[in-house]
């Protein structure tokens, strides 16, 4: 699949998954796409745990207030960052940006392989869920689970979110410039 088609087809999926397992090779290919993402100062700071052991997926599926894709996922990719990210450039850390770039690459890879997922972030950060998951996955004390991707074959078609038009969010040369001026 061409990258623009993957960008166009990617969407957050919160529906049911089929029972079809996700082969390890596909999970690996998805995470390889994450590893290829850019990172601040090339620190490559994000770590990944691929969860496909049924005992672990069952535990995550049963977490309180999990929505449908989490409850039914056959596999998860857990993205891990440092609790206290070190400075990598003049007092700056880029771990959240590094992680987000890796996740976006993986969302496109998930789409290209015909799977579905949703970027789970807020839910994971609430009510001690990241800590619980970190404990199950054996994370070192300095690391925390930051983003969770439930993965599976979509069992349904969901309504895509509409995006605002180009003219409302993007301009050539000057913020808010009218089209007639901006495309000269």
Annotate each residue in 134-163 with x if it binds ligand FMN (CB under 6 A) or - if it does not, as one string: ---------------------------x--
Report the alpha-carbon distance of residue 144 to residue 51 in Å, rounded. 15
Tokens standing for residue 125: 């950060």
Closer by beta carbon to ligand FMN, 6 or else 177: 6
Q: Where are the beta strands (DSSP E) in 13-125?
A: 47-51, 75-82
- Residue of 122, 138, 165, 176 that binds ligand FMN (CB under 6 A): 122
Three-state DSSP class for 12?
strand
Pairing outcome for strands 143-151 and 75-82: antiparallel
Closer by beta carbon to ligand FMN, 18 or else 67: 67
Regarding 123 and contact with ligand FMN (CB under 6 A), the answer is yes
Among candidate residues 104, 100, 112, the one with its CA nearest the CA of residue 6: 112
- Residue of 71, 121, 137, 153 that binds ligand FMN (CB under 6 A): 121
Contact residues: ligand FMN, CB under 6 A:
11-12, 14, 118-123, 161
């Amino acid at each position: 699949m061409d990258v623009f088609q993957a960008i166009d087809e990617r969407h957050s999926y919160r529906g049911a998954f089929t029972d079809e397992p996700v082969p390890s090779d596909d999970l690996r290919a998805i995470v390889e796409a994450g590893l290829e993402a850019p990172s601040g100062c090339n620190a490559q700071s994000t770590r990944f745990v691929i969860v496909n052991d049924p005992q672990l997926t069952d535990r995550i599926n049963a977490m309180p207030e999990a929505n449908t894709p989490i409850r039914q996922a056959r596999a998860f990719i857990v993205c891990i960052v440092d609790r206290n990210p070190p400075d990598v450039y003049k007092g700056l850390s880029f771990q959240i940006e590094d992680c987000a770039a890796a996740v976006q690459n993986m969302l496109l890879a998930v789409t290209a392989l015909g799977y579905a997922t949703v970027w789970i972030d807020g839910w994971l950060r609430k009510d001690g869920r990241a800590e619980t998951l970190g404990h199950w996955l054996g994370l070192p004390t300095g690391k925390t689970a930051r983003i969770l991707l439930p993965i599976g074959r979509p069992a349904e078609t969901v309504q895509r979110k509409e995006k605002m038009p180009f003219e409302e969010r993007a301009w050539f040369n000057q913020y808010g410039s009218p089209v007639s001026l901006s495309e000269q």
